[in-house]
């Protein structure tokens, strides 16, 4: 998913390319996007107080 910034627990962070997501279609055929997550790096964990972080494209926070 193209993005220039992300927001987690009130903390904004800059992105170079975006985040990975999975597009599926609901029963009516409308697209729905799910963010793909991975265990947080130590830096991301301290910055956002979250154990999980988005899977980023071409970078690591």
Q: What is the pLDDT of residue 57?
A: 93
Closest C-alpha among 31, 25, 44 to residue 55: 44
pLDDT tens figures, 9-52: 999 999 999 999 999 999 999 999 999 999 999 999 999 999 99
Q: 18 in the Ramachandran plot: left (φ > 0), alpha (ψ -120 to 50) or beta?
A: left
Q: End-to-end alpha-carbon separation of the chain, Å?
A: 17
Per-residue pLDDT, 44: 95
| Domain locations in the chain as residue ranges | 5-54
Residue 52's pLDDT is 96
Whether 9 contacts 51, CB under 8 Å: no
* Cβ atoms of 51 and 38 closer than 8 Å: no
What pTM, to 2 d.p., does this model score? 0.77
């Amino acid at each position: 998913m193209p993005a220039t910034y992300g927001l987690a627990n009130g903390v904004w962070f800059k992105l170079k390319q975006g985040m990975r997501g999975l597009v599926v279609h609901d029963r009516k055929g409308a697209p729905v996007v799910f963010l793909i997550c991975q265990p947080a790096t130590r830096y991301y964990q301290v910055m956002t107080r979250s154990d999980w972080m988005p899977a980023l494209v071409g970078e690591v926070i």
